[in-house]
Structure 1
Amino acid sequence: MSQIEINGGIVEYELLGPPDGGRTLTITPGGRFSKDYRGVRPFAQALAEAGHRVLIWDRPNTGASDIQLYGESESHMRAATLAGMVRALDLGPVVVMGGSGGARDSIVFTITYPELVEQLIVWSIVGGAFSSMSLAGVYVMNEIRTVRRKGIDGILAQTGPAGSWSDLVAANPRNKQRLVDLGAEEFEKVMWRWFEAYVPKANEAIPGVPDHLMRSITVPTLIVRGGENDIDHPKRTSFEVHALIRRSRLIDPPWPEDAWERGQAARDAGTGGIFDPWMDAVPTFLDFIAEYSVRVPA
């Protein structure tokens, strides 16, 4: 376990695999889930065992990293953090990989910092009205209601899904003072700005990312199609992203068609996790990575 300060906050991270010989991969999961959430580490270790160096990290507002609130959206903030890490640790250019919210973070990173990216691999992409509005409810709407009624003390006491603000304070005591120092007024201001990213817009296939910026991506990109009945990561959205990224390849899921639904049921029953199916994709992802030893000019 290592720490690094990026943009005024401490980030917890690990580098797995050999320092030389393979490619450098960055893995970004979704939700407010940490690098130690079930399914993330085994997936990273499998890629590292193939000879690659793999970065796993607690994004700001996940795990044991510091809470940070700035930027156009939470994904833009996390992309800036990842860029700072890649530069400070001299890792780039990298193969950027992410699922669910991590797919959005990875796409924003690739758009904003193209010089740091060799390849892009994304799956379980959120998009469309239902899943975007659902995320607004999970990440910002309750926060806005709470901070307006109860101030920062209400945010500090807020409980809920993994990654709630109280969980983040419990995992990292520094976070209490960081929220207090930020204050209710600034916290609410950031939440309203981040909320705007989730408002569905005709020119945004994924939340907070205008389509014309998606078209700027030139690196080889692998997109895993959304599941047939997955309302959180719609099949339609994966087709839209494929249409916008001209050097992308769209593939059927390397896991069962209903893997997301099964994963949710297994998580709720305590018998599995939502990221467990990622292991099924390791051979497919390794094959795609092996196709490109260096970045190919557009």
Structure 2
Amino acid sequence: MEINGGNVVHEILGSSGELVVLTPGGRFSKDIEGLRPLAEALVEGGKRVLLWDRPNCGASDVQFYGRTESHMRAETLKGLLTALGEGPCVIAGGSGGARDSILTVMLYPELATRLVVWNIVGGVFGSFSLGAYYVVPSIQAVLAKGIDGLFDLPEWQALIAANPANEARLRALDKDEFLQLMLRWLDAYVSKPGQTIPGVEDLDFAGIRVPTLIIRGGRDDRHHPKRTSLEVSCLIENSELVDPPWPEDAWERATEDRAAGRVDHYNMFDTWVQAAPLILKFLS
């Protein structure tokens, strides 16, 4: 479906029940290992689940606009739900998907009945890691070779392989405009007073009025600190904070396994299905 000038790939699981929008983290697609088992568990619990490839993820078109990449995704989700004739519904997501979900409810409160988030990114290390991984390589590539430099990066190569139309969309970018946008997106990951999560003002949390479930970050999770979850729970008045159903260091161990090439042993999102009972209980 075309939303804001770009095609957004999506699917809805289940035939009846309230709709849950389920958003993964990073620039991972809806087909990342571990996400569908959670979606299927929610369907078994009587829900419908919308899975979607956000812009710059999976088989959807690449797009570049907005104050931050998460602001762009929130605007895209609003357009998608409106075009589908869905909403208000449950907005849920983990890691970067938690930030996308929070922003969606902040900016478009009419879309949400409830909010469910986990693995919320925050802190100096977590925020800087995102900027270094998702933004800095593209800036360096374009500074060195112009827009052609993007085609040397595995991330954009993968998105072209998943959706060949993305090659033309990338080649059509203006170098200077792209660099300006990337620098703005990078600035969101610079830790600032009054921003518990990257690129989002603490004052804007007052706009979240729906019941909210927060599954806190692990005690030993440097990417999604426990402290960030506690602070977000303080900022959302009508929120419930619960302990994670997975090990306190699950994300760090998965990161080690992934770096060592042991992806068949433990994927970053494999534990997420364990949140299904907590989510279903909250929604009931």
For this structure pair, what is the TM-score category when the shorter chain's length is used for normalisation?
over 0.9
Residue 38 of structure 2: aligned partner: 43
TM-score between both structures, scaled by the size of structure 2: 0.97
Cα shift readout 1:179-213 (whole Å, capped 9, x = no counterpart): 11122222111101111111111100000000000
Residue 181 of structure 2: aligned partner: 190
Residue 231 of structure 1: aligned partner: 222
Residue 10 of structure 2: aligned partner: 13
Per-residue deviation at 1:236?
0.5
Residue 235 of structure 2: aligned partner: 244
Tell me the SS of whatever aligns to 2:64.
coil
Residue 276 of structure 1: aligned partner: 270
Residue 220 of structure 1: aligned partner: 211
- Equivalent residues in 2 for 1:1-298, closer than 5 Å: 4-18=1-15, 20=16, 22-159=17-154, 164-267=155-258, 268-270=261-263, 271-290=265-284
Alignment partners' CA distance in 2, 1:182 and 1:143: 13
Tell me the SS of whatever aligns to 2:191.
coil
Per-residue deviation at 1:254?
1.3
Per-residue deviation at 1:256?
1.6
One-letter amino acid matched to 1:284: L
Alignment partners' CA distance in 2, 1:177 and 1:187: 15
Alignment partners' CA distance in 1, 2:192 and 2:256: 31
Cα shift readout 1:199-231 (whole Å, capped 9, x = no counterpart): 111100000000000122110000011101110
- After superposition, the CA RMSD in angstroms is 1.0
4+ residue segments displaced more than 6 Å:
none
Tell me the SS of whatever aligns to 2:80.
helix
Tell me the SS of whatever aligns to 1:43.
helix
Alignment partners' CA distance in 2, 1:192 and 1:128: 20
Alignment partners' CA distance in 2, 1:240 and 1:194: 23
Check conservation: 2:22, 2:92, Cα contact below 8 A: yes
Cα shift readout 1:266-292 (whole Å, capped 9, x = no counterpart): 4331212110101111111000011xx
Alignment partners' CA distance in 2, 1:53 and 1:280: 18
Alignment partners' CA distance in 1, 2:153 and 2:174: 15
Alignment partners' CA distance in 2, 1:31 and 1:199: 17
Cα shift readout 1:96-118 (whole Å, capped 9, x = no counterpart): 00000000000000000000000
Alignment partners' CA distance in 2, 1:54 and 1:240: 28
Tell me the SS of whatever aligns to 1:87.
helix
One-letter amino acid matched to 1:45: E
Per-residue deviation at 1:262?
2.8
Residue 295 of structure 1: aligned partner: none
Check conservation: 1:156, 1:169, Cα contact below 8 A: no
Per-residue deviation at 1:265?
3.5
Per-residue deviation at 1:257?
1.5
Using the TM superposition, name which of 113-122 and 48-57 deviates more. Answer: 48-57
Consecutive unaligned residues in structure 2, runs of 5 or more:
none
One-letter amino acid matched to 1:206: I
Alignment partners' CA distance in 2, 1:177 and 1:61: 14
Cα shift readout 1:233-260 (whole Å, capped 9, x = no counterpart): 0010000100000001111101121221
Alignment partners' CA distance in 2, 1:80 and 1:144: 24
Consecutive unaligned residues in structure 1, runs of 5 or more:
291-298
Per-residue deviation at 1:12?
0.6
One-letter amino acid matched to 1:74: E
Alignment partners' CA distance in 2, 1:203 and 1:246: 17
